[in-house]
Amino acid sequence: MAFFFTVPSLGSLPLAQRSQVFVSFVSRSNPATKPLRRPDEIAEIVGEEEWHIRTIALWKHFARYTWPKLLRVYLAIAFVVSILGPICTNVIINRIIFGDLDALRLDATNTEIKQRVVIIRRAHVANFLAIFLTMIIVWAPYFTHRTIAKKRLSALLNSFNEADAAKGNVQALVWACDRASTFQANAVISVQLPVAFVSANQPTAFHQAAYLPAYIQKTPSQFPPPIYGGQLNQNTGPTYHPPDGPPPLDHDIKAQWPAHEKA
């Protein structure tokens, strides 16, 4: 009988090695005065001076496009206008259009009903256009500012990637922005390590820092531990304690055993 099981590849094992590093920026900590610590994984790829220049450039970008106090105030006002704007617009348009109209009589003719339906539809269209224009006026400047910021950040990160790629394939880092928050005033930059660098530095399955894969891990045993030192179970016979030193050649261990145990 043969048993077959799938063995995962070494690249898929959860080894104790990071494939990317993260750098956190906050508005109150300027790298120019408080330098950020360079990750050990990229110490051989990015020099200390180059790392300092890049972190300062990233911090200045976030301070200019993501963390300004004026931008926070504008976003707060935009959220309030987005909630209260449709309500106020609806009230104003209804007063303008329906303010001078009387309620329909119960004996209204079909012509009067059709005219009132046309007026209601015009009010709906006017209300929709007013809300749509309000949203565009409020949010268009913010999204324009955000688009410009993303393009300039992408150009800055691409310049880092091109500079690292020019050093060789082994040192090709990939810089990317994972998150940037205006209200929390922080940002996270991820640096993807080169595949060749990770493969050369990650431990194998035989390394003491590596995690054993599931197919060779020893599961807890449900049975009691074995007895060592020549001790026998109480149900099978007397306990034998070996003498000091090697036993004599003519010594028969089974001589003390019961008859049914000698068979």
Spell out the residues 6+ positions from residue 57 whose beta carbon is closer than 8 angstroms to its own.
Answer: 156
Note whether residue 9 is domain-resident.
no
Note whether residue 227 is domain-resident.
no
User: Which pLDDT tens digit goes with each residue over 97-141?
Assistant: 887 777 777 777 888 888 888 888 988 898 899 889 999 999 999
Residues paired with 189 in a beta bridge: 23, 177
Structural domain that includes position 26: 18-222
**How far is the CA of 24 from the CAs of 39, 66, 74, 147, 245, in angstroms?**
12, 14, 25, 22, 66
Q: Is 215 left (phi over 0), alpha (psi -120 to 50) or beta?
A: alpha
Kindly state the DSSP code that residue 205 receives in the 8-state scheme: T
Note whether residue 114 is domain-resident.
yes
pLDDT surpassing 70 at residue 202 = no
| 217 token code pair | 């891990």
Number of domains within the chain: 1
Looking at the chain, which runs of residues are DSSP E strands?
20-26, 174-181, 186-192
Note whether residue 7 is domain-resident.
no
**Residue bearing tokens 């809300």:** 131
Q: What is the dihedral of CA 150, 155, 161, 165, to 10 degrees?
A: 150
Note whether residue 82 is domain-resident.
yes
Residue 175, phi then psi, degrees to nearest 5: -95, 135
DSSP secondary structure string, 76-127?
HHHHHHHHHHHHHHHHHHHHHHHSSPPPPPTT--HHHHHHHHHHHHHHHHHH
Note whether residue 78 is domain-resident.
yes
| 127 token code pair | 């209300």
Taken as a whole, the chain contains a residue count of: 263
Kindly state the DSSP code that residue 66 receives in the 8-state scheme: T
Note whether residue 161 is domain-resident.
yes
User: Which pLDDT tens digit goes with each residue over 17-66?
Assistant: 567 888 999 999 899 999 998 988 888 888 899 999 999 999 999 999 99
> Is the pTM here over 0.95, yes or no?
no
At 226 the three-state DSSP class reads coil
Note whether residue 211 is domain-resident.
yes
% of the chain at pLDDT higher than 70: 67
Residue 7: pLDDT band (50, 70, 90) is very low
- CA–CA dist 144, 127 (Å, integer): 25
| 56 token code pair | 């300062």
Beta strands 20-26; 174-181: pairing state: unpaired
Mean pLDDT of the chain: 78
